[in-house]
Amino acid sequence: MKPAQESYRFPIDYPQYFEETKDGKKVLKIEYLTTLPEDIAKFLEHERPQLAAHQLRSFYGHVKRTEHAWRRGLTLAEAVNEIKKLESHANDRLAKGRITRTFHDFVRENANRVVATDEGKSLEAFLEHFEALVGFCAGRLSEKERT
């Protein structure tokens, strides 16, 4: 039996989306839009068995639908609950062999970081971080269903 491949090693404080500017404002750390999602995408590209692109899009689609509903009147608490549901979906798909451990961990860590007590800042940060991951995964992941 082939040994299981290690999953991506996320930074110890991951996800810690924000840094404080000199004037006291919290802004999204640039690495959550650049180097970090690119590193994760590179790992996902070479992780075996590979994450299928449609699985990534499925989770991202849920996030985008939640964002649109929130912008149209869904309460922040309801939107956060929708994001929290992603963890159970990830657990199910990991157990069925449909997603990789790294992607499961990405979903779990980020879903747990989104809260309803920050006026939507963590939700927006997760949206931007996930969008960056999707962009860096373009052309790297297989379109075929894993068997």
| Average pLDDT across the chain, whole number | 92
Q: Which two tokens stand for residue 27?
A: 């802004």
The torsion region of residue 73 among left (phi > 0), alpha (psi -120 to 50) and beta comes to: left
Question: pLDDT tens digits, residue range 24-64?
Answer: 999 999 999 999 999 999 999 999 888 999 999 999 999 99
What does each C-alpha distance from 43 to 20, 40, 131 come to in angstroms?
Answer: 29, 5, 17
The whole-model pTM stands at 0.91
pLDDT at 3 over 50: no
The domain locations on the chain are 27-137
> H/E element holding 26?
strand 26-28
pLDDT at 5 over 70: no
